[in-house]
A and B are shown apart, each in its own frame.
Chain A
Amino acid sequence: MTEGQHLQIILRLGDDALVLGQRLSAWCGHGPVLEEDIALSNTALDLIGQARNFYTLAAAREDQGRDEDQLAFFRTDKEFQNHLLLEQPNGHFGDTIVRQFFFSAFALERCAFLSRQLVDAEVAGIAAKAVKELQYHWEHAAQWIVRLGDGTTESHEKVQASIDHLWSYTGEFFNADEVDAAGAEAGLLPNLAVMRKAWNARVEACLAQATLTCPEDGWMQRGGKQGIHSEHLSYMLAEMQVLPRTYPDATW
């Protein structure tokens, strides 16, 4: 693992957390019930906090005079290396929950590994904090999957459609590129083939309980980790970045 790859791994962890955190924050004030509004906003807050920790670490390591804000607000869409699933629009509540369900199952497994590895103590520290938060996110999403899947005919049909639609974005989690391979080789990142088994077991058990069908793999989307995104990310970043880009010296 080169120094550049090591840095890229930390940035990717930050990008995943920031993009999903930004998406979820758009639910604030729009949740179907007050408790859900609070839950999704809390989840967003946790993720943005995790992103800040990873970006602050990445900025210190690259030592280019950038800080967390510059990494969040002054990089272009092609410089973001988050998984494509996370930038997908919020859609309806079921879409948001399915996105959260797929990601939390992955993030929880990944983060547990990161908190235990001995290659990078600072990453382990951030992960040890994050893993406790991700456990809550997973529980929350999994409980909703069961409630919606095993709920009314309408809720079942809608959430099954969300699952079928978003499934093609889950393959990317386990599609190791050079950076993933180097990270796994060095012991910083988990082996993605092993992760896939753990993820499948988690997801399938919950879907079965929810009386939902786990789709077959078909064409699986990829490219996010290489900076090739769906069009949705650019619009999201435009909204997220407009203020600091317009007034770069603004402080509050």
Chain B
Amino acid sequence: MVTVAQRIERVWTMVRTVHDPELPYLTVEEMGMVRGVTMRDNQIVVSLTPTYSGCPATDVISEDVENAVRSVEPEAQVEVVLSPAWTTDWILPSAYEKMREHGIAPPEGQSADRAFLTGQGKVIPCPFCKSKDTSMVSAFGSTACKALFKCNACLEPFEHFKCI
């Protein structure tokens, strides 16, 4: 007999295989989007929190998670939980180094700090040459979660994962 704890652990194992379609080197768990796996009315429920209201990847991620977990739990449900709102503070530390390796400056510090919100008053080091001489080109980037920066030292443009 498989216990509930074992079933939940098995689902977690499958959830951990799902990657963010826009940041494919990161899993949705590393992104802090998985709020939990629980047993409700004898059914496994995976709770996900979207990063941005309009993030087009949210639907794809829900489907990917559903497909992954249903290989071990055919009746499993995926629910989207909006509250509490996702924050960059939930991104796991393992994601930070992976972001840098892929040329994205990870979020800096706690999102609660007002100064980080616009990327002003905060030094965002270049993920390529590590120089702190960088400037923001635009608060909006190629995806909802990123801002555009440039490095004044090595002159490379790079993206910064916004703190929200």
Which A positions have Cβ atoms within 8 angstroms of B?
21, 35-36, 38-39, 42-50, 52-53, 121-122, 124-126, 128-130, 132-133, 135-136, 139-140
Contact = CB atoms under 8 A, between A and B. Distances in A.
Contacts of A21: 54
A42 B144 contact: yes
Q: Which of A124, A126, A129, A135 has most B Cβ within 10 Å?
A: A129
14 contacts: A35-B148, A39-B138, A46-B53, A49-B53, A50-B53, A124-B83, A125-B82, A125-B83, A132-B85, A133-B52, A133-B53, A133-B54, A136-B162, A139-B117
Interface residues of B, number: 24
A96 to B, nearest CB: 15
Q: Main secondary structure on chain A at its contact with chain B?
A: helix
Contacts of B85: 125, 128-129, 132
B82 A45 contact: no
Nearest to A42: B140
A44 B54 CA distance: 8
Nearest to A40: B140
B123 interface: no
A130 to B, nearest CB: 6
A125 B84 contact: yes
B138 A38 contact: yes
A140 B81 CA distance: 28
Given A45-B144, A129-B52, A133-B164, 18 more contacts: A35-B137, A36-B138, A39-B139, A42-B140, A43-B140, A52-B53, A53-B53, A53-B82, A122-B83, A125-B81, A126-B53, A129-B50, A129-B53, A129-B86, A136-B140, A136-B162, A139-B117, A139-B118
